[in-house]
Structure 1
Amino acid sequence: MSAPKTTPFHQAHKDAGGKLVDFAGWELPVNYGSQIQEHEAVRTDAGMFDVSHMLISDITGEQAKAWLQKLLANDVAKLSFVGKALYTAMLNDNGGVIDDLIVYRANEAETAYRIVSNAATREKDMAQFTKIGAAFGIEIKPRHDLCMLAVQGPKAIDKLLQLKPEWAEQVRALKPFQGVDLGDNWFVARTGYTGEDGVEVMLPENHANEFFKQLQSVGVQPCGLGARDTLRMEAGMNLYGHDMDDDTSPLQAGMGWTVDLKDESRDFVGKAPLVALKNQGVDVKQVGLLLETRGVLREGMEVVTPHGTGVITSGTFSPSLKQSIAIARVPVATENSAQVDIRGTLTDVRVLKLPFVRNGQKQFD
């Protein structure tokens, strides 16, 4: 087996005391000493995550817009200005999710876009990009010269702008799901995977370690994969390969809002089986589960309801709530309670609408 790849921040992780593990073929920090402290920094202050294992692809071509309208379940016609971002699924021919990704509009002419997609799926993503792209004459340029750092939390933008005051006007003008090109291959977007405010910064790889250390110097906490996972679960955000995959429809994974069927003339990959499933009625739904007694909910545990069984797709102990939470797929008729098989014992759980936590606040009574 080949050695895991490293990101341009690798030395910074080591210098900060990161405990490095193999994640989807990449050596990345699981934590820097305390996952709980890292989680709480993002909920109350500012933390940063290396997300350079994700694939940045720049797309150009006269038919780039048409290609994306064929490739993606959401419609890039919604990208009404340069820098606007769109979250979407990319489906296979059966309507299952190949990947979830973000696409940015990069020019006025709608002939240039940027896609950010997942690390674990980069090979099959690129194969699908190329396969569907062949008929549209587009050029796909993977940006291996760039890296990416998520700076997240209620004080993230303030701390970033302590370092980069010259960015203040442009960055403060960003609304969620908007990005801005700041020149010299620096790009800042108001996006994230934590349920907090913040940005994701794409930058030239030769600036990686310096930028990381500068952010540390203004009090941004380095955060690892462990905190990233508890934060995204509290925020009710899917993780590819767990909460959805090639055999899961977006309609079964809480992603119906990312499917755009308004333009009936637009035919995208996976549309026919998706519409057929919608018409026949989806028999499962995605929910949150809260365990109010001791124990931890884990992926793969069976959920028992009066309407049949479901399954936990992600589970953890929530540092913010001090209780165990899970994302689960259950029969569509499930109401506000269920049971989970925890080591052979059926244990009562509350069934909640996601998310559990957003902007530092509990989202349920």
Structure 2
Amino acid sequence: MAKTTPLHDQHLALGAKMVDFSGWDMPLHYGSQVEEHHQVRREAGVFDVSHMTIVDVSGPDARSYLRHLLANDVARLDTQGRALYSPMLNEHGGVIDDLIVYLMTEPGVTGEWYRVVVNCATRDNDLSWMADCAVRFDVSLAEQPDLAMIAVQGPKARQLAASVLSESRARLIGQLKVFQGQESEGWFIARTGYTGEDGLEVMIPEEEALTFFQALVDAGVRPCGLGARDTLRLEAGLNLYGSDMDETVTPLQSNMGWTVAWEPQERSFIGREALERQRDGGVPSKLVGLVLEQRGVLRAHQTVVVDGLGEGEITSGTFSPTLGYSIALARVPAAADAEASVLVRGKTLPVKIVRPPFVRKGAQGHS
């Protein structure tokens, strides 16, 4: 039986089409995936993302543990609430998951602790791996199943969220920097998201989630489902775990080289040696953007042909509601440059190889 979020009945009341997503009964859309997509690009939309897994990491060795566990370096978190995006790797450099970690205290204080948000589809594997890696550290891992998570995204998201909250929470929203979160009256409010737009991700006691969600809807924020979330993140050039990366590929093959903190060289994180060998020996493939400006729709698993270099494969593809043509992420030979072709229903269609994101703040962003 699929798990449900605290907002499940409200989704049904709003007419959502529900689907099974990694064991969770989640809204795909509330009538029109395309209109939900446009609403986020133009004004604001609200997503129930309570299926995400929240884990708090504390203890004397919390920082040392995370510096070993993650390819990015939590020592870069120099102020309270600062967030860091990082892959979590296996010994071969493959991506176990991608996650966000927040420093919940001032750096270096006694009792320093972190909040980690990982994907629901990889929850069991993630928690097992994190626990196994914690054995030689004085650290505590505490999942937070009583917290719901609501994302408000779009150019008017912060303004509209602030309008339905207390004065202190509204003030905090106005002060938050991008990729920063702070606690307020028992909530954790972060200026992060998965759409390429400004906005918030709010971790909230599950008994308060319905009231907040409904207040946003009453204020004109459109409820949005997983369908719009996927087209928005793809336009923003953001990877989806299990599609654009997994344990068989490294960050260097997944357009995530920027998330690997090579310095200081003495930091021994899991997967470092494998990544160094691949970096020094030559990365065999890379993740790129594809643009198809003629009729046709790019889909995952379609074959990409790069003349003189070989073949690759689309990892994520869709019709872009914002741009009006089809876009995709694809893993192709590392030397691929400007042009390729894709096999679509027996036809060979020319595509441009571009650098994501495809859309930046509601407008074309690729180059």
* 8 Å contact kept, 1:236–1:356: yes
Match of 2:31 among 26, 30, 33: 33
Question: Quick one: distance in 1 between partners of 2:128 and 2:89?
Answer: 13
- In the alignment, structure 1 residue 64 sits paired with structure 2 residue 65: no
TM-superposed deviation, 1:168: 2.6
- In the alignment, structure 1 residue 95 sits paired with structure 2 residue 97: no
* 8 Å contact kept, 2:300–2:314: yes
Question: Quick one: distance in 2 between partners of 1:182 and 1:134?
Answer: 33
Unaligned stretches of 5+ residues in structure 1: none
Q: SS at 1:135's partner residue?
A: coil
Structure-2 residue corresponding to 1:81: 79
- In the alignment, structure 1 residue 281 sits paired with structure 2 residue 282: yes
* 8 Å contact kept, 1:12–1:212: no
For residues 213-236 of structure 1, give each alpha carbon's deviation from its aligned partner in whole angstroms, at most 9, with x where no partner exists: 110000010000000000000000
Q: SS at 1:274's partner residue?
A: helix
Question: Quick one: distance in 2 between partners of 1:58 and 1:200?
Answer: 16
* 8 Å contact kept, 1:194–1:228: yes
Q: Where in structure 2 are the equivalents of 1:8-27 lying within 5 Å?
A: 8-27=6-25
Q: What amino acid maps onto 1:49 in structure 2?
A: F
For residues 90-125 of structure 1, give each alpha carbon's deviation from its aligned partner in whole angstroms, at most 9, with x where no partner exists: 001111000000000011226210000000000010
Q: What amino acid maps onto 2:35 in structure 1?
A: Q
TM-superposed deviation, 1:261: 0.6
Q: SS at 1:175's partner residue?
A: coil
Q: SS at 2:134's partner residue?
A: helix
Match of 2:357 among 326, 350, 355: 355
Structure-2 residue corresponding to 1:223: 224
Question: Quick one: distance in 2 between partners of 1:56 and 1:283?
Answer: 34
TM-superposed deviation, 1:7: 0.7
TM-superposed deviation, 1:165: 4.6
* 8 Å contact kept, 2:153–2:197: yes
TM-superposed deviation, 1:343: 1.6
Question: Quick one: distance in 2 between partners of 1:7 and 1:232?
Answer: 22
Q: Where in structure 2 are the equivalents of 1:1-365 lying within 5 Å?
A: 3-108=1-106, 109=109, 111-166=112-167, 167-184=169-186, 186-306=187-307, 307-364=309-366
Q: What amino acid maps onto 2:40 in structure 1?
A: V
* 8 Å contact kept, 1:11–1:209: no
TM-superposed deviation, 1:364: 3.9
Query: Percent identical across equivalent pairs?
Result: 52
Deviating more after overlay: 84-93 vs 105-114:
105-114
Q: SS at 2:80's partner residue?
A: coil
Question: Quick one: distance in 1 between partners of 2:71 and 2:237?
Answer: 21
TM-superposed deviation, 1:352: 0.8
Question: Quick one: distance in 1 between partners of 2:83 and 2:185?
Answer: 18
Question: Quick one: distance in 1 between partners of 2:74 and 2:365?
Answer: 31
Q: SS at 2:135's partner residue?
A: helix
TM-score normalized by structure 2? 0.97
Deviating more after overlay: 280-289 vs 138-147:
280-289
Deviating more after overlay: 239-248 vs 338-347:
338-347
TM-superposed deviation, 1:17: 1.0
* 8 Å contact kept, 2:163–2:170: no
Question: Quick one: distance in 1 between partners of 2:366 and 2:172?
Answer: 35
TM-score normalized by structure 1? 0.98
* 8 Å contact kept, 2:195–2:233: yes
Q: SS at 1:230's partner residue?
A: helix
TM-superposed deviation, 1:46: 0.3
Question: Quick one: distance in 1 between partners of 2:320 and 2:51?
Answer: 25
Question: Quick one: distance in 2 between partners of 1:262 and 1:269?
Answer: 14
Q: SS at 2:114's partner residue?
A: strand
Question: Quick one: distance in 1 between partners of 2:320 and 2:155?
Answer: 19
TM-superposed deviation, 1:211: 1.1
Question: Quick one: distance in 2 between partners of 1:136 and 1:12?
Answer: 42
TM-superposed deviation, 1:183: 2.4
Q: What amino acid maps onto 1:299 in structure 2?
A: A
Q: What amino acid maps onto 1:343 in structure 2?
A: R
Q: What amino acid maps onto 1:192 in structure 2?
A: G
Deviating more after overlay: 295-304 vs 170-179:
170-179
* 8 Å contact kept, 1:63–1:111: no
* 8 Å contact kept, 2:2–2:23: yes
Question: Quick one: distance in 2 between partners of 1:93 and 1:361?
Answer: 39
